[in-house]
Amino acid sequence: MTETLVLEDPAEECARRLAAAAAAGSHIALTGGGTPKASYLRLAGMDVDWSGTTLWFGDERCVPPDDERSNYRMAKEALLDRLPSPDEGGPRVRRMLAERGPSAGAEDYERQLRETLGEELPRLDVVLLGLGPDAHVASLFPGQATLDVQDRLAVGVEEAGFEPYVPRVSLTLPVINNARAVMFLVAGEEKSDAVARAFGREPTPEAPGSLVRPHSGELTLLLDTGAASRLATLPE
Ligand code: 6PG
């Protein structure tokens, strides 16, 4: 089941849904890129009991955590620094140690996931994703072999298919598609083609977003009118 919402302010709806998930004590994977920043800032201002929440990341660039390209840094500045510490009722934060390099960073994240959620394929409650103009998701880029990985929870990406061109660490499709809910936040007309390719057509490795279809979870698209403008027929 796909729920498609075309909204004037999808960032607000995203913040509301993340707040509800946090209040329910969830395992939530945050996304990077620029689009979610507005949402994280609003979420930081909401009155939420974070104490049962664990925040994960869908992908990371292989740079130090204080580098301006770091997804963690963006989330930290917009959200985490504004929340109480874990000892004072704030969320637990499990960041990707991507500064160790793509392979070591992916191995470590897989270990963190297994340690926290057990040996089975993890079932995250919410995976928030953005969509690149080339329809990439997390750091899974069009046509790359990482899209075929079935036996890993996190994967090292030696060559990014999109800027910033630094190696990455990314959750794999099996983990993303095993989530209870996957929520896309996509804004801007420059994403409209990618949105149509990811959600309006047949699945293809040339549009990684089209391979995100949770097996037994919900798929929600939070779009603004620009991003939705080429979705001729909205998916069911
Ligand atoms: C990253 C991301 C990536 C992002 C999209 C959209 O590290 O680059 O996590 O998948 O979500 O590229 O990014 P924008 O919101 O900046 O367009």
Helix (H) or strand (E) run with residue 77 in it = helix 71-78
* Apex 134 CA angle, 216 and 145, nearest 5: 65
Residue 43, CB half-sphere, CA atoms under 13 Å: how many?
A: 30
- Report which protein residue has its CA nearest ligand 1's atom 4: 33
Question: What pLDDT, in 10s, does the model give residues 163-185?
Answer: 999 999 999 999 999 999 999 99
Query: How far is residue 91's CA from residue 55's CA, in Å, rounded to a whole number?
Result: 7
User: Could you tell me the pTM of the whole model?
Assistant: 0.97
Amino acid (one-letter) located at 86 = P
How many CB atoms within 10 Å of residue 65?
A: 15
Å from CA of 193 to ligand 1 middle: 15
Edge-to-edge order in the sheet of strand 168-171: 59-61, 168-171, 154-157
Q: Is the peptide bond before 65 cis (omega within 30 degrees of 0)?
A: no
The ligand 1 atom nearest the CA atom of 139:
10
Question: What pLDDT, in 10s, does the model give residues 21-54?
Answer: 999 999 999 999 999 999 999 999 999 999 999 9
